[in-house]
Amino acid sequence: REVLRTQGRTAIVLVPEIALTSQTVDRFRGAFGNDVAVLHSGLSDGERFDAWQALRRGERRIAVGARSALFAPLERVGVVIVDEEHESSYKQSETPRYHAREAAIVRARAEGALVVLGSATPSLESWERADRGQAVRLTLPDRAAGAQLPPVQLVDMRSAVKEALASRAPQAPYDPLLRVFSPVLLAAIESRLTRGEQSLLLLNRRGFAAFVQCHGCGDVQVCPHCSISLTYHRVPESLVCHYCQHHADVPSSCARCGHATLQRRGLGTQQVEKLVAERFPEARIARMDVDTTSGKWAHTQILDRVGRQEVDILLGTQMIAKGLDFPNVTLVGVVDADTGLNLPDFRASERTFQLLSQVAGRAGRGPKGGEVIVQTRMPQAHAVTHALTHDFVGFVHEELGARRHPAYPPFVHLANVMVSGVHQGATAAAATAAAEWVTQLMRRQGLRDLVLVGPAPCPIDRIKDRWRWHFLLKSSQPRLMTRVARYVAERCPVPADSGLRLVVDRDPVSLL
């Protein structure tokens, strides 16, 4: 970056989400002062206009921001840096569905600039690119300030819960804490409180309980607009759909069988907060998830309190895994490592590995060192075993093996063709017809290096009252994929009734 200054060129720095990476942004400001223009969604239109003008006129030469900062009006760009390049927030989920990492490579090529992709857990796409010689891999083996990676301890919750329940006093009342926290993790939190050090607890699911189920017939409360169970929230008490924000009152009895008892199943951050507060009444606890950070500066306020050591235990979703640097945090506890592992998505293992590695990296950043405790019911999963030993290369080898047959990225390029509509039958028929149309196209054009998989209902087959079907296109040739994806998006005929829509998503980050 210093070289750039002597060359008189400019730079673009992309970060995943400004609110979660304020420490990174501060570091850039500290190093480059008035050369930096920060672009983020919290800017008013006027502020944004001023920042863009300053960049356009060359008054500021480094644009730092999320995804869209890639389009900053800079001239003579010398370097594009993509920090935490594996982050899925670089993918825009609405049209235009570009992936900022891929777009960065395109812009840099056009300007003759260098691209630096930074990550402690690179995406398999970028790793493979280096394997093929299309990128140079630079390794930083040492942690900042020479700190050691913290030791990670695994707790198999299947046996831990059994033992904890067996060793209870005979008349002891039922204690839900025992099913959620192993004695090891409880003791570790306790010792941090005694020593005045801080703990981070990760649970990647917000709300109080994952779903509400009838004790009598097993019926689960689902969203009336989406094929997904409603999440139970305690404050304020309601059932919430995390896909469409539908809110419903908690029913007092089952609508199907009339049974009066509804069970709350599965764990959310609100429940963990309550359990921890009951067990450690003297502890100062803060929760960080989508529900507590909707205000403009809510993130910063919570993190500032952690920085001032006004919080003993910070618990939250994946938000707390990213880039935080607090030297007094000496314990990271992963309450349930398995929440993301069983999703029907080929990146489920990769995401879990990244999340575990990142949150583990939050412990022991200061001279006091630190430790990580991971609770799981799937201790053999390769995402878990390799995260324990900080073994990225080992994980990549196993995961790449799993992506060869059937082929998934990085071995093929992917396009997800999604057909949605308000009627189930019409949507299925349109998806089938579209897949047939593409199959004919492939046959006519002799496109041998193109595979069509499907069509089938999406794993979540209805969102916001729209039924969803999809099929996948796979090809090892990126240019062919670009051509076909564009052709299908523009030409594939879709009946003009039942609100039918066809969307082609190139390089999808999620197949749900």
The residues of the shown chain that bind Zn ion, judged by CB under 5 A, are: 214, 216-217, 219, 223, 225-226, 241, 243-244, 246, 254, 256-257, 259
Q: How many CA within 13 A on the CB side of residue 63? A: 32
Q: How far is CA 54 from the centre of its chain?
A: 33
Task: Round to whole Å and give the CA distance between 309 and 329.
Answer: 9
CA distance readout (Å), 135 to 107, 176, 275: 16, 50, 48
**Residue 99 per-residue DSSP state:** B
Residue type, 294: S
**Least Å from the CB of residue 273 to Zn ion:** 24
118 or 216: whose CB is closer to Zn ion?
216
Is 177 exposed, middle or buried, given 0-12, 13-18 or 19+ CB atoms closer than 10 A?
middle
**Least Å from the CB of residue 257 to Zn ion:** 3
212 or 356: whose CB is closer to Zn ion?
212
**Least Å from the CB of residue 418 to Zn ion:** 17
Specify the DSSP element, H or E, that contains 41. Answer: none
226 or 321: whose CB is closer to Zn ion?
226
Task: Round to whole Å and give the CA distance between 378 and 336.
Answer: 10
**Least Å from the CB of residue 253 to Zn ion:** 8
The answer to whether the beta carbons of residues 351 and 340 sit under 8 Å apart is yes
**Least Å from the CB of residue 222 to Zn ion:** 9
Task: Round to whole Å and give the CA distance between 328 and 318.
Answer: 20
The answer to whether the beta carbons of residues 384 and 350 sit under 8 Å apart is no
The answer to whether the beta carbons of residues 411 and 135 sit under 8 Å apart is no
244 or 277: whose CB is closer to Zn ion?
244
**Least Å from the CB of residue 245 to Zn ion:** 7
**Least Å from the CB of residue 462 to Zn ion:** 8
231 or 385: whose CB is closer to Zn ion?
231
216 or 327: whose CB is closer to Zn ion?
216
Across the strands, what pairs with 264? 212
218 or 401: whose CB is closer to Zn ion?
218
**Least Å from the CB of residue 248 to Zn ion:** 10
Residue 150, SS3? coil
The answer to whether the beta carbons of residues 327 and 367 sit under 8 Å apart is yes
Residue 153, SS3? strand
Nearest to 455 by CA among 428, 489, 420: 428
**Spatial CB neighbours of 150, under 8 Å, sequence gap ≥ 6:** 332, 360, 363, 364, 369, 370, 371, 372
**Least Å from the CB of residue 142 to Zn ion:** 46
Across the strands, what pairs with 230? none
224 or 406: whose CB is closer to Zn ion?
224
**Least Å from the CB of residue 364 to Zn ion:** 40
Sign of the CA dihedral with 1 first, then 140, 352, and 161 last: negative
Structure tokens, 422: 């308000």
Task: Supply φ then ψ for residue 317, to 5 degrees.
Answer: -85, -165
**Least Å from the CB of residue 256 to Zn ion:** 5
Length of the chain as a residue count = 512
